[in-house]
Structure 1
Amino acid sequence: MSTPSAMRKVYQGITERHQMFRMFDRHAQRPNRFHGDASALYAGEWFEIAEREHDFMFEILPPLWIRGSMFAMREFLTESVTSVFFALRIDGVIRFFHAYCDLSDGGSVEDMRLAIIERETRPVRAITRDERLEHIWSTTADTYRGYADETTLQYLPCQRVITLFSKAGSARLKLLDDLTDDEIAAKLPVQLRHLPDTAVAA
């Protein structure tokens, strides 16, 4: 299972340390986790972290490399994908980010840096449908999210599914990508529910 690979913000806000570590492997539940190359699944994911977490990660191991305000982790998540940490000045403020970059692509780190800056300097605060879905996936407990397998024959294998609850309390699975606007709003924190879509705000 490897589809994504476009650069994508996968969490809204700044992660605390426990959430940051959880975000490092948002796909831990995928079927056949230790088989095949999942580089495309992780490459391009990014989210914001606090300065304390940025410095903490810098001190864990000697970096693979340091380039200005960026450094890469020595331990690779997949064959060619590793964590890259950024300290970027955006609108006069230094902010900190984690991203997965595929180092087999020589331009991936600079492309990621530019993508983060472009995304975070938009004049209107907005959020795309895809970003809403990724935030829901990132913040849902493992018990209530997963991947379709032989027990969910109505879905294609490896599609992401989320547990929804009716007013009566009964649970059912639904494809993450098929959530309605109302279902998405119900799963988002209040401050994100009424933000305009990026396409509308652009």
Structure 2
Amino acid sequence: MTLSSIRKVYQGIADRRQMFRMFDRHAKRPNRWQRDDSALYRGEWFELGEFEHDYMFEILPPLFIRGEMFAMREFLTGSITSIFFTLRIDGSIRHFHGYCDLADKGSPERMRDAILERETRPVRAMTREERLEHIWSSTADGYRGYAGEHWPTTDRGKRTVMFYARPGGTTLKLLDDLTDAEIAAKLPVHLRYLSERQAA
């Protein structure tokens, strides 16, 4: 599984419990730490509350503080670390967390700009990718996983989610293979009928 680009991975404002779950959405991946999985995390971002933002600021002295952002001193993997943002958007102060690669000069600034661009759109909409990432982020570990040895070789290691295929029956499906109807069924009601945004 290889993810890339800057991407919103959760819709809404993460509370403390959800924030800690989001910090390592890929914790159950196969062969964890046996290869460089920086691409899984690089570019992920989500919104959190002011309390959660301030809590993280007070845990350790930041690696750096630059205006509206600060970086965690501890690295997740390689040169990937948490960057926390406080941004004014449409007159409101909002808080965000993103994973940036500090070996890539300008990564935090590009993350900030991508968040501002995404959150200042006049029309609320979600791409298919954002819908899938929200499903992955909000599904409990017991109902999501990775395709193993019983799957075709080409699918092994891809993300799976439990889906209720019929009354009284469940099945595992590849996250990327969910149909539009299945995606809608897995999303909370307030996100089901947002318009489809074309990926940039």
TM-score range, shorter chain: over 0.9
Instruction: Give the letter for the 1:186 counterpart.
Output: A
> What is the DSSP-based 3-state SS (H/G/I as helix, E as strand, rest coil) of the residue aligned with 1:199?
coil
The structural deviation recorded for 1:103 is 0.5
Q: Structure 2 regions of 5+ residues with no counterpart? A: none
Q: Read off the aligned partner of 1:95 and give its amino acid letter.
A: R
TM superposition score normalised by structure 1: 0.95
Q: Give the corresponding residue for 1:68.
A: 67
Identical-residue share of aligned pairs (%): 68
The residue number in structure 2 matching 1:57 is: 56
Asked if the contact 1:81–1:102 (Cα under 8 Å) also holds between the matched residues in 2, the reply is yes
Structure 1 runs, 4 residues or longer, greater than 4 Å off: none
What is the count of residue pairs matched by the alignment?
Answer: 200
Q: Which residue of 2 aligns with 1:107?
A: 106
Partner SS state of residue 104, structure 1: coil
Take 2:104 and 2:48, find their aligned partners in 1: how far apart are those partners? Answer: 24
Over the residues paired in the alignment, what is the CA RMSD in angstroms? Answer: 1.4
- Give 1:199 shift: 2.3
Residue 95 of structure 2: aligned partner: 96
Matched-pair contact (CA < 8 Å) for 1:133–1:176: yes
Alpha-carbon offset, residue 155 of structure 1: 5.3
Higher strand content, 1 or 2: 2
1:152 counterpart residue number: 151
Work out the CA distance in 2 between the residues paired with 1:168 and 1:49: 36
2:134 alignment counterpart: 135
TM-score, length of structure 2 as denominator length: 0.96
Gaps of 5+ in 1: none
The corresponding residue for 1:17 is 16
Amino acid at match of 1:75: E
For residues 145-202 of structure 1, give each alpha carbon's deviation from its aligned partner in whole angstroms, at most 9, with x where no partner exists: 01112133475221011111133221211110110111001110110000001129x9
User: 1:199 maps to which residue?
Assistant: 198
CA distance in 2, matches of 1:50, 1:73: 17
